[in-house]
A and B are shown apart, each in its own frame.
Chain A
Amino acid sequence: MTTTTDRRHLVGASLGLAIGLVALVTGALVLREHGPGNMWAGYLAGASLALLAAGVAFWRTWRRPAQATTAERAFTASADERDRAILHRAAATLGGVALPLTGAAAVLLALGVEPAPVIGTLLWTELVVFVAAFAVANRKL
């Protein structure tokens, strides 16, 4: 039997994935016209993977809620209070680290270092910090 909560989850998931798909195609088209080199292809690959992961997470939290992970629940609007606490801790850690990292990146750019690797390293470092903080909080809580 499909409940109101199920339907709401399905509508939310479909809407989120549709918005993600529009952002994916629009971003790739804009980058292909105006971006440097083959950045659009990298964007397309990365964003497609992220969208696919989101689709799998939505499907698992909808059809297999008992087997869904904390991360899957946290990123598909089906989190309970512990999931949200973990997400908040990870976001707070990222926020605390992002400020000095961005400051360091700004100093490097001011010193004339090539921007692309600086920005790339900054983004990857922030991603790693967030994932690590999420994993640690998930073990602790």
Chain B
Amino acid sequence: MRNEIRRLREENGLSQAALADALGVSRQTVNSIETGRYDPSLPLAFAIARHFGTTIEEIFHDDDH
């Protein structure tokens, strides 16, 4: 699954560590999500969307569609 987290994070001037702190996860988890190695749970995906003031659909994209 592709996502826009790196772009949104950089636009907001956040480091991976700062975003991780805000979301209550580790920096490695943010890195794994950004690089598409780990798909977050629905609650974490909602937390990410809420943090950037947008929707899950605007952030995560299905590879096949």
Contact = CB atoms under 8 A, between A and B. Distances in A.
B32 A81 contact: no
Contacts of B26: 68, 70, 73, 80, 82-83
A76 to B, nearest CB: 13
A66 interface: yes
Contact of B29 (A66, A68, A80, A140): A80
A82 B23 CA distance: 13
A82 B41 CA distance: 9
Given A70-B28, A73-B26, A141-B32, A81 B37 contact: no
Interface string B1-42: 000000000000000010000001111110010000110110
Interface residues of B, number: 13
A80 B17 contact: no
B44 A81 contact: yes
Contacts of A44: none
A82 B17 contact: no
Interface of B: 17, 24-29, 32, 37-38, 40-41, 44
Interface of A: 66, 68, 70, 73, 80-83, 85, 140-141
Q: Which 3 A-B residue pairings sit nearest by Cβ, starting from the closest?
A: A80-B25, A82-B29, A141-B38
